[in-house]
């Protein structure tokens, strides 16, 4: 049994390295399809639970995903029990979107997707398809770098789950408790196809209404500052940029762009919005009446 496990782990690493060579960020997975490495912050109180790899240690799930071969090998060496690998979605350069068609739903999810295509006038392109051990399938599509596709479950239609920013797909060749994930015949030579625009509109939440101030949106440099963040800098750079934006009076205007930039660096939308909200609270003084009330209460 140990020899079989070692062989499965070796194959998983080989598949993961091959995916990384194609620009797909990967992490090791256990047979449960969950990230193989445990969190280094187990038992630690407070802010450590919000760490997404800034501490420099592995064990942060999809936030560990990388295309660097040496780092991939190090992650698998730290998790010799891993028999599969996950591919991070929403990350550069492919900005992968996974369409998960579940066969366990009461309705036919593949037929539901075809009905959506007919209703919204788009065609499902030829693309990479991964067959799951349960009989379902994963369609791989790519999105534009300026659109954040969130994860969702059955929001598009019953039985159709979406893997987007902050999510991951089980890579083909992975061995799980229920079997092996395999490339569908005839799709191994394909690259992930661009997501049809009409489908992309269904996958992304509507933009919040913006109120014009009569001047162009500022803060392009701050957005680029966030986009340039490396692992260990993401929250810090985002917080600094948001503080500068609110201090200069265009924080609300720039918030959406800052969120999109932060998600592209590896943060989740929830984490990015929480960081920006903290910056807004820090740089926006409360009304005088509230300051007086708080002083009175402190006494």
* Residues 188-211: tens digit of each pLDDT: 899 999 999 999 999 986 654 444
Helix (H) / strand (E) element for 289: namely helix 288-298
Per-residue pLDDT reduced to its tens digit, 147-159: 889 898 888 988 9
Phi, psi for residue 290 in degrees, rounded to 5: -70, -40
Q: What pLDDT score does 296 carry?
A: 35
- Packing angle between helix 251-265 and helix 234-247, nearest 10 degrees? 170
Place 290 in a pLDDT band, splitting at 50, 70 and 90: very low
Among residues 282, 264, 278, which one has the least CA distance to residue 25? 264
Whether pLDDT at 34 is above 70: yes
C-beta atoms surrounding 142 within 10 Å: 16
Domain covering 89-205, topology? Prim-pol fold (3.30.2250)
């Amino acid at each position: 049994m140990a020899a079989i496990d070692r062989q499965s782990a070796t194959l998983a690493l080989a598949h993961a390295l091959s995916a990384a060579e194609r620009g797909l960020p990967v992490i090791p997975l256990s047979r449960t399809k969950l990230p193989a490495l445990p969190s280094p912050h187990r038992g630690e109180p407070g802010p450590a639970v919000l760490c997404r790899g800034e501490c420099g240690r592995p064990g942060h799930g999809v936030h560990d995903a990388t295309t660097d071969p040496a780092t991939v090998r190090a992650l698998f060496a730290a998790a010799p029990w891993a028999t599969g690998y996950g591919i991070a979605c929403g990350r550069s350069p492919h900005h992968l979107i996974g369409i998960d068609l579940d066969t366990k739903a009461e309705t036919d999810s593949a037929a539901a997707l075809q009905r959506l295509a007919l209703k919204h006038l788009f065609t499902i392109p030829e693309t990479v398809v991964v067959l799951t051990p349960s009989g379902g399938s994963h369609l791989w599509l790519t999105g534009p770098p300026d659109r954040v596709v969130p994860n969702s479950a059955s929001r598009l239609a019953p039985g159709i789950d979406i893997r987007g920013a902050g999510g991951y797909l089980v890579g083909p060749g992975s061995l799980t408790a229920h079997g092996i994930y395999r490339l569908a015949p005839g799709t191994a030579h394909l690259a992930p196809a661009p997501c049809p625009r009409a489908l992309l509109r269904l996958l992304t939440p509507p933009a919040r209404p913006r109120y014009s101030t009569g001047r162009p949106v500022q803060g392009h440099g701050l957005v680029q500052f966030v986009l340039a963040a490396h692992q260990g800098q993401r929250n810090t750079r985002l917080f600094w940029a948001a503080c500068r934006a609110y201090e200069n009076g265009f924080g609300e205007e720039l918030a959406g762009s800052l969120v999109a930039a932060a998600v592209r660096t590896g943060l989740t939308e929830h984490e990015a919005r929480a960081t920006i909200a903290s910056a807004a609270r820090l740089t926006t003084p409360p009304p005088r009446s509230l300051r007086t009330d708080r002083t009175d209460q402190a006494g």
